[in-house]
Amino acid sequence: MSSRIAELGALISSNTQKIDEYLIANSLPSPSFEENGPVKLNLSAELESARGALLNATAELQALLQTPDDLLRPILNGTSLEAISRYDMARKIPVGGSISFQDLADQCSLYEPDVRRIVRFAIAHHFVFREPRKGFVAHSAASRRLVDTQGARDGLGVMFDDCYQSFGRTIEAIEKYKSQDIDKTGWALAHNGQSLFETFGKHPEKAKRFAGSMAAFNASPLMSHKHMATDFPWETLGNGTVVDLGGSHGELCAALALTAPNLQFIVQELPRTVQSVDRATLPAEVAPRIEFMEHDFFTPQPVVAAVYTFRQIFHNWADANVVKILRSLIPALRSGARVLVHDLILPEPGKLPLMQERQIRYVANVLMGKRHYMLNGEYRAMDMLMLSICNARERDEEDWRQVFTEADSRFKVLRVFTPKGAALGIVDVVWDGEGSNFSAK
């Protein structure tokens, strides 16, 4: 019987050969750290599976060949990436060329030995930048992304300018407050007592950057609205009304309207968001069926509807607040009304492959939209992120069922599932309350 390290070695060899042969056969570029290295490999679904197996095997083999003491030593230090983001170093390095450490330090108004160590750490641990000859810095594929992609720059900025300080104060907040309140967090301790929403309200430039990082995050096909549009029988609702609470500028409703031509849609948002809506951005063929309404979802719901949707809303709030939001729906609910939650559904612990477990704990991947090969990953990272910044959390199926039951036993959870190829799951709930049978308005 072969040893585990021998099994892993064989698996690595086999899957590497499969990927290499596919790239050659399809005239695709091979992975490279060079500046013009491919951003994505454009593999088939079968080869993406092989790639995942290869990453899992290499990670496990590396861990097996280290000692327990090695595994207990933290190897990540965010200082390097924080400096790269804050001083916009990537855009100070010429595309297709190089720059000396001294010239880069001068442009950043920093001490040259500090720039040297920052860059060399980034090269060693993140493959960000290259040192083509001693004392000179050039781009790698990763640093070139920071030059070419605003979303990548926004994500790194949010990570290190806004969130990074919060992580180091999360345990302090837990011990100090013992509270689920949104202003009793590591974020609040790092931002002069302000909650995340208060910080963004007072600093529009931070809010804009956060929106940019989320736009990059949501641009992935894994986050597409099509999953909600195709995995619920909208055609059964006739000419009913769908209310999207916290629906931003109507992106979800627009996608649903294209699928369900007989439905009417109401996007409920806070006044400042409603006032910022540009209806010209809505597809012309569905815009007449989409209405915007000022509403705070902590207050009683005024609209009787067929369906109430919440996309990535509840993960911003602790259980007690989610219960309040759900109870605020009750005045408008009629028997048969549906509540659809479009949010992350945590997997059972230990069910994901090793690299997915690692990726889901690495928050920068979440904020920078680095989701091009994962199907259902990055949950744990989001879970830890929400603890630090909002005192909120991601939930598994049991958690979702529990929060609806706590809100009211008349909420009946029908399904909790994650569509194939989606990052966000769907919690499908029906209101089984007293009163007349549901009639959509």
Exactly one of 125, 315, 342, 372 is catalytic; name it: 315
- 77: Cα within 13 Å, side-chain hemisphere: 14
Strand locations in 262-328 (E): 264-269, 290-294, 307-311
CA distance 6 to 8: 5
Q: Which amino acid is at 136?
A: F
**Residue for token pair 């920093």:** 110
* Phi, psi of 246, rounded to the nearest 5 degrees: 70, 35
- 438: Cα within 13 Å, side-chain hemisphere: 20
- Please enumerate, as own/partner, the contacts of 89-92 that have beta carbons within 8 Å and a separation of 24 or more: 89/119, 90/128, 90/129, 90/139, 90/143, 90/144, 90/146, 90/147, 90/153, 91/146, 91/147
Tokens of 109: 């108004």
Classified as helix, coil or strand, 412 is strand
Residue 135 has a CB neighbour count (10 Å cut-off) of: 11
Tokens of 179: 């509270």
Tokens of 242: 């769908």
CA distance 276 to 296: 16
Q: Which amino acid is at 44?
A: S
Annotation says 315 is catalytic:
yes
Contact 345, 396 (CB under 8 A): yes
Q: Which residues contact 167 (CB under 8 A, 6 or more apart)?
A: 186, 388
Classified as helix, coil or strand, 374 is coil
Contact 364, 154 (CB under 8 A): no
Residues assigned a catalytic role: 315
